[in-house]
Amino acid sequence: MRWALVKVSLAVTAMVVVAFAVPLGLVIREMARDRAFAGAEREAAAVAPALSITTDRDQLARVVASAGSDAGMAVHIPASGAQGAGVDIGRQRATDEDIAAVRELGRASTTEVSGGSTLLQPVALSSGEIAVVEVYVPESEVTNGVGTAWAVLAAVGAALIVGSVAVADRLGVRMVRPAQRLVEGAHELGEGKLGARVPEEGPTELRLAAVAFNSMADQVVQLLANERELAADLSHRLRTPLTVLRLNAASLGDGPAADQTRAAVEQLEREVDTIIRTARDAKPQTAAAGPGAGCDAAEVVRERMAFWSALAEDEGRKWRVAGADRPVRIPVARADLAAALDALLGNVFRHTQEGTAFAVDVHNGEDAVIVLVSDAGPGIPDPEAAMARGRGSGSDGSTGLGLDIVRRLAESTGGDVRIGSSVLGGTEVRIWIQLDGRAAPVRRGHRGAVRRRRQPRPASTFNRSRSLP
């Protein structure tokens, strides 16, 4: 593109220069010729008054000498009745036929001679005869200054051509460089360098192309991140049936079949952890539910607690659910809330000993809904590390993705997640779900957790018969 612009500019400028310089050079040559013959006419006019007065040879010779020179001017007086022969003063260069033709026509003319041209000017004498004044104009006078003028025109034309080529080259660079960066960015993106971006510079069209490319690259990165996130989330949701399988396998007792079942469950669990760790560096991105979307949090809590209560009974865990006896609408998809609850309850079963009690409380406010998942386990020593993506709170190889799923669920509504100490003595995870999309108010207690004063409930309340309506 750059050389194409240079060639086009060169061709156009050259045509313009030729179109103007050639006619202008011809005009300059004609002007120089007219200037030379105008001087010759002035010299001839200086002799005409003397010829109209006298035809004396000596007097005319003095007049010719004062007006011009013998080498450049000549006077031809025809013969008359009193004078038998004509008078010729100066050097004659024109032919007799040309001189006779000027006498006959009675008007001035020019004729080519050796070394230049001559101006033949007729002058009427007092006797009625026609004398002819011949003025020699050498070729050097006709072309005086023409060569210099043509050289100046050529220099100006060359300067115009060079300038136009330079300007076209700069314009080409201004257009080509952004296009080259766009091509390089496309190659880098095609090679898997997802951070490739193009500077938004150059002409308007190329800037718009750069903006579109950068937007496309961002979308590609986002799609890949969402793809990895989906793989990680789906893999983490497999933890729920895996937990059930692990607990059931633990109750099979001894024997080759039981050992093989437990080994298969452990292998499957390791594979799921590998998938989660492979996709864990994807940037989290969860969109809030759109207008009209949502679910009944109380119904989802009752449903998931009905599932986990069977495992709790097998392990001798006391459990409680509160606040789920009436509908609680939240702007969260049903599947997302179920996945968050499964992640938290799965962590309870995974990271606490058998017989550890747990509870789920739902608090419905005017602008927010709070879901509390608490247990009577040992607690989490480093809540911030537990909330960090890809970092577990224990030493048993936890990926930490469960809490990240919960965090993204809450942040999609403008809320947040806090980890603190529960009234049961263990960990309390508070999910703050905003109903109007505003940022959640900050109520910080121990380790940034929401601390709520509640009276301890008697142990008899932790029973399955009073948990579900």
CATH of the domain at 120: 3.30.450
**Is 296 found in the same domain as 264?**
no
Same domain, 265 and 327: no
103 in the same domain as 7: yes
Strands annotated E in 269-386: 295-296, 319-322, 329-330, 358-364, 368-375
Same domain, 257 and 237: yes
Residue 119's domain comprises 2-147
The total domain count for the chain is 3
Mean pLDDT score of the chain: 77
In a domain, 92, yes or no: yes
72 lies in a domain?
Answer: yes
Q: Do 307 and 451 have their domain in common? A: yes
Given 104, 123, 147, which residue is the final one in a domain? 147
Indicate the residue among 147, 181, 198 that finishes a domain.
147
CATH at residue 305: 3.30.565.10
pLDDT (tens digit per residue) in 207-253: 888 889 888 888 888 887 777 667 666 666 666 677 777 777 777 77
Residues 243, 375: one domain? no
Structure tokens at 51: 């010829």
Q: Within this chain, do residues 9 and 122 fall inside the same structural domain, yes or no?
A: yes
Residue 190, domain member (yes or no): no
Q: At what angle do helices 239-250 and 204-237 cross, to 10 degrees?
A: 20
Q: Residue 365: pLDDT band by 50, 70, 90 thresholds?
A: confident
Among the listed ranges 45-49, 77-81, 193-197, 294-298, which one has the minimum average pLDDT value? Answer: 77-81
Same domain, 266 and 348: no
pLDDT digits (tens, 9 = 90+) for 344-363: 898 888 888 889 999 999 99
Q: What pLDDT band is residue 206 in, cutting at 50, 70 and 90?
A: confident
C-alpha radius of gyration, the chain, whole number: 55
* 207 found inside a domain: no
* Residue 405 forms part of a structural domain: yes
Tell which of 117, 147, 177 closes a domain: 147
Pick from 228-237, 369-378, 388-397 the range whose average pLDDT is largest: 369-378
Are both 309 and 275 inside the same structural domain? no
Q: What is the pLDDT of residue 452?
A: 37
Q: What is the DSSP letter of 1?
A: -
Do 296 and 269 fall within a single domain? no
| Window from 68-77, 106-115, 211-220 with minimum mean pLDDT | 68-77
**Residue 411 and residue 296 in one domain:** yes
Residue 457 counted as domain residue: yes
Convert 378-391 to b/e letters by CB count within 10 Å (16 or more is b): ebbeebeebbebeb
Q: Which ranges of 191-254 would DSSP assign to H, the alpha helix? A: 204-237, 239-250
Tokens matching residue 92: 């004659």
pLDDT reading at 398 higher than 70: no
Residue 18's pLDDT is 86
> Is residue 102 included in any domain, yes or no?
yes
Q: At what angle do helices 2-53 and 57-67 cross, to 10 degrees?
A: 150
Q: Is the model's pLDDT at 401 over the cut of 70?
A: no
**Is the domain of 28 the same as that of 74?**
yes
| Both structure tokens of 205 | 């069209």
Q: pLDDT over 90 for what percent of the chain?
A: 10
The verdict on residue 174 lying in a domain is: no
Look up residue 63 and give its two tokens: 């007049």
Contact at 8 Å (CB) between 96 and 109? no
